[in-house]
Amino acid sequence: MYRRFLTIIVMLSIMGLSDLAWSAGPSGFTQADRERLVRLEATLETFMKATDRRFEELRQDMNKRFEQVDKRFEQVDKRFEQVDKRFEQMMNFMWILASIFAAITVTTIGFAFWDRRTIIRKAVDESVARIECKGSLAQLINALQDRAKDDPKLASILRNYNLL
């Protein structure tokens, strides 16, 4: 322990002596050192101003570029809006065409159905009329033939027309 303490004291004294040796030289700054520092400060100040100016120019250039990019994005957004509007118009047009086609199809089918029903109804009515006509005519002839048995004048008329 004593040895360690002695080593520390020797080391501190060596450091102290070396510090004294440095301070024993010429004292302080000379005029040349001061002029050199002033020139160095001026150079650094000029360099700092130039660097600041470059950064400012770079910032302005970047801002211009970002503004250009923003304008481009706005143009692209407008174009997308135009395309969306056009697509919507096309879809509306397609719906209109589909509706027109559906209406024409329904109308054609309805007309065909109506026409068929009308033709069938007319044919049925005509058939019924013929049947009724034949039936009533036959009944009329039978009635006249029965009457002709009692009436000789009617019998002669029916013979003329070959109905008796």
Residue 150's φ and ψ, nearest 5 degrees, are -95, -25
**The pLDDT of residue 100:** 97
Rounded CA separation 4/10 (Å): 10
Rounded CA separation 12/29 (Å): 28
158 contact partners, CB below 8 Å, separation of at least 6: 144, 145, 148, 164
Specify whether the CB–CB gap between 158 and 145 falls below 8 A: yes
Rounded CA separation 23/70 (Å): 64
**The pLDDT of residue 79:** 95
Instruction: Name the residue with tokens 């109905």.
Output: 163
Q: Which helix (H) or strand (E) holds 140?
A: helix 31-148
Residue 56's φ and ψ, nearest 5 degrees, are -65, -45
What is the signed CA dihedral for 148, 152, 153, 154, rounded to 10 degrees? Answer: 10
Domain-wise residue ranges, the chain = 33-160
Instruction: Name the residue with tokens 């013929």.
Output: 130
**The pLDDT of residue 105:** 97
Instruction: Name the residue with tokens 């879809």.
Output: 91
Instruction: Name the residue with tokens 């027309």.
Output: 161
pLDDT digits (tens), the chain, 164 positions: 767 776 777 777 787 665 555 555 555 779 999 999 999 999 999 999 999 999 999 999 999 999 999 999 999 999 999 999 999 999 999 999 999 999 999 999 999 999 888 888 888 888 878 877 777 777 888 888 888 889 888 889 888 988 77
